[in-house]
């Protein structure tokens, strides 16, 4: 077996050869010295603290930029060592295109550029980063074979999104702990956010990253595990980040092949892909407006067909390429979302998921500013016993009507919703990522983080980008007045993983400072872009 990622807690543990950067910042010994680029709104009783800034090194490892999707575990749950209980391990995506970023090496000898996953070990008491490194040491491709080089990532007859160097734009992310939602292992789900991309499942304990072709093709924003129909299956809702893409559902059969592999025992080797297809609406032009609901079935697409192997738009394994899968969705009458983004499961109800579609006015003028939905899944069966999933979809917040008139106009409320989390306090926390031309032009408000009450629809801004924090000090911002150029991403609820006061809510997020590319960051060949990891905490009730 290949060596797993280190579970040691001392600073300097890393899986890569140290990256030599001329003029690099000192090794991180405590929290980053820079203030948070995402500033909390203290009037709403929130505080922020940065813990890492892109350009810093942790031991011998220098994480690249474009930080994105994250998930966290107590390190002791992964290592089995009680001495690790004072450390939280956070897996973090880097949304680099396949040719960006410095090259890294795997245990097989493969050398790749592009997107990757890092781990950050954070001390529970000080909330400081104490170790970091590459989150995996092996990649297994769509054929289930170990990757020895770039050629092993390419797919004959399929959608080659990795031909420029490596994995491509690992975006938002999600995870499950062993035993949750029917999964056997601790898994970090991450996908390539480009048309024809592959979903990947990281076996966190073993440090092995596995392609999951059974889940189909998509520009993967994220997936959300939900309560499955029975003990023999797993189920994941899928956010496909393309304009006009459908809402997808994967239902996998556990131990379907019987080989005991990581994919098979977790229901990821064989399954069915469905698309939501209500009869009474086909797009946001027919279904929009805060508070409105729509019910409809998920219809099976059939993304793998042995008879199609090697045919145009199908790969050598018989999986549909992106164009073929899109055609299958059209055939079943799938609802076309404006542009699907992140989704997250209700921690108190495993059949409910909150889901953001960021808006695309060039396709659907009725959804320019983005929509936040509640998806409620139910499992039904045909008279012959075939699974027939249904979903009731409710609009929690429609940006185009400013939350049913909650704000003076769309630009004053939640705009271009992207990453989000449904926290244990019952609220949904939403991060904005500019996708409409009028973003900030009327209100003058920078990209923000919002708290949304899923029961009342009330939205409250809790944090906002501070463009004055240009860090590290060697970097410069050529466009400080470009509202929305920087975005926050990856937000997760870590309240239960760190010591907190009674009633405190503790969130963890990151910043993508897109315009910061010079100095120690070094542009596309090095760290690509600036950014930060930060904590956001709420210590008392928000004033009404």
DSSP string of 39-100, one letter each residue: EE-GGGTEEEEEEEEBTBBBTTB---S-EEEEEEEEHHHHH--GGGTTEEEEEEEE---TT-
Tell me: the pLDDT tens digits for 238-253?
999 999 999 999 999 9
- What pLDDT does residue 6 have? 55
- What pLDDT does residue 157 have? 61
> What pTM did the predictor assign?
0.94
Tell me: the pLDDT tens digits for 200-215?
999 999 999 999 999 9
- What pLDDT does residue 161 have? 78
Contact 7, 37 (CB under 8 A): no
Determine how many CB atoms are found less than 10 A away from the CB of residue 408: 11
Report if residue 12 sits inside a domain.
Answer: no
Contact 240, 339 (CB under 8 A): no
Phi/psi at 435 (5° precision): -140, 10
Report if residue 433 sits inside a domain.
Answer: yes
Report if residue 13 sits inside a domain.
Answer: no
Q: Which of 7-16, 138-147, 220-229, 387-396 has the lowest mean pLDDT?
A: 7-16
Report if residue 30 sits inside a domain.
Answer: no
Report if residue 203 sits inside a domain.
Answer: yes
How far apart are the C-alpha atoms of 166 and 29, rounded to whole Å? 31
> Is 138 a residue whose pLDDT tops 90?
yes
- Stretch 194-200: mean pLDDT: 97
Per the structure, the count of domains in the chain is 1
> Is 25 a residue whose pLDDT tops 50?
no
Range of the domain at 70: 38-538
Report if residue 543 sits inside a domain.
Answer: no
The residue ranges of DSSP E strands in 113-241, in sequence order, are: 116-123, 129-134, 138-140, 170-176, 187-192, 199-203, 208-211, 220-226, 233-240
Q: Where residue 347 falls among pLDDT bands split at 50, 70, 90? A: very high
> Is 303 a residue whose pLDDT tops 90?
yes
Task: Give percent of the chain with pLDDT exceeding 70.
Answer: 93
Determine how many CB atoms are found less than 10 A away from the CB of residue 277: 18
Report if residue 475 sits inside a domain.
Answer: yes
Tell me: the pLDDT tens digits for 26-36?
344 358 999 99
- What pLDDT does residue 544 have? 35
How far apart are the C-alpha atoms of 21 and 528, rounded to whole Å? 13
Radius of gyration of the chain (CA): 22
Q: Which of 6-20, 145-159, 245-259, 323-337 has the lowest mean pLDDT?
A: 6-20
- What pLDDT does residue 294 have? 99
Report if residue 339 sits inside a domain.
Answer: yes
How far apart are the C-alpha atoms of 337 and 342, rounded to whole Å? 13
- The mean predicted confidence, pLDDT, of the chain is 93
Tell me: the pLDDT tens digits for 252-275?
999 999 999 999 999 999 999 999
């Amino acid at each position: 077996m290949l060596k797993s990622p280190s579970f040691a807690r001392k600073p300097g543990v890393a899986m890569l050869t140290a990256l030599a950067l001329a003029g690099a910042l000192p090794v991180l010994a405590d929290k980053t010295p820079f203030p948070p680029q995402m500033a909390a709104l203290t009037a709403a009783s929130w505080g922020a603290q940065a813990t890492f800034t892109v350009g810093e090194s942790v031991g011998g490892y220098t994480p690249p930029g474009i930080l994105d999707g994250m998930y966290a575990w107590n390190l002791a749950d992964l290592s089995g060592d009680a001495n690790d209980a004072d450390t939280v391990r956070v897996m973090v995506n880097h949304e680099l295109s396949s040719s960006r970023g410095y090259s890294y090496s795997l245990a097989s000898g493969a050398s790749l550029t592009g997107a990757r996953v890092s781990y950050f070990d954070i001390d529970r008491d000080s909330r400081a980063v104490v170790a970091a490194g590459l989150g995996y040491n092996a990649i297994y491709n769509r054929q289930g074979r170990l990757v020895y080089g770039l050629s092993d990532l390419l797919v004959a007859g399929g959608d080659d999104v990795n031909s420029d160097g490596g994995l491509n734009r690992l975006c938002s992310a999600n995870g499950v702990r062993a035993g949750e939602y029917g999964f056997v292992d601790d898994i970090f789900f991450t996908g390539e956010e480009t048309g024809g991309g592959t979903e990947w499942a990281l076996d966190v304990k073993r440090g092995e990253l596995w392609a999951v072709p059974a889940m189909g093709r998509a520009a993967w924003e994220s997936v959300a595990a939900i309560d499955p129909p029975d003990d023999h299956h797993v189920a994941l809702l899928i956010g496909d980040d393309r304009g006009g893409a459908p809402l997808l559902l994967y239902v996998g059969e556990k131990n379907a092949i019987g080989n005991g592999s990581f994919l098979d025992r977790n229901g990821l080797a064989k399954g069915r892909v469905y698309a939501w297809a209500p009869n009474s609406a086909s797009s946001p032009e027919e279904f929009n407006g805060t508070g409105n609901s729509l019910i409809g079935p998920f219809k099976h697409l059939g993304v793998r067909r042995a008879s199609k192997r090697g045919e145009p738009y199908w790969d050598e394994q018989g999986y549909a390429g992106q164009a073929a899968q899109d055609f299958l969705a059209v055939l079943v009458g799938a609802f076309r979302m404006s542009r699907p983004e992140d989704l997250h499961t209700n921690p108190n109800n495993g059949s409910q998921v909150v889901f953001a579609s960021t808006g695309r006015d060039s396709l659907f003028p009725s959804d320019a500013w983005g929509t936040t939905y509640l998806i409620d899944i139910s499992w039904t069966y045909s008279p012959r016993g075939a699974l027939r999933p249904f979903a009731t979809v409710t609009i929690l917040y429609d940006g185009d009507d400013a939350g049913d008139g909650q704000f003076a106009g769309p630009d004053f409320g939640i705009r271009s919703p992207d990453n989000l989390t449904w926290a244990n306090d019952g609220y949904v926390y939403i991060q904005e990522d500019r996708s409409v031309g009028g973003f900030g032009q009327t209100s003058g408000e920078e990209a923000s983080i919002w708290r949304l009450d899923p029961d009342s629809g009330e939205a409250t801004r809790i944090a906002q980008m501070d463009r004055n924090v240009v860090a590290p000090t060697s970097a410069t911002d050529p466009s400080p007045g470009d509202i929305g150029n920087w975005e926050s991403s990856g937000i997760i609820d870590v309240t239960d993983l760190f010591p907190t006061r009674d009633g405190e809510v503790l969130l963890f997020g990151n910043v993508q400072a897109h315009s910061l590319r010079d100095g120690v960051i070094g542009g596309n060949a090095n760290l690509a872009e600036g950014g930060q990891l930060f904590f956001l905490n709420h210590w008392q009730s928000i004033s009404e």
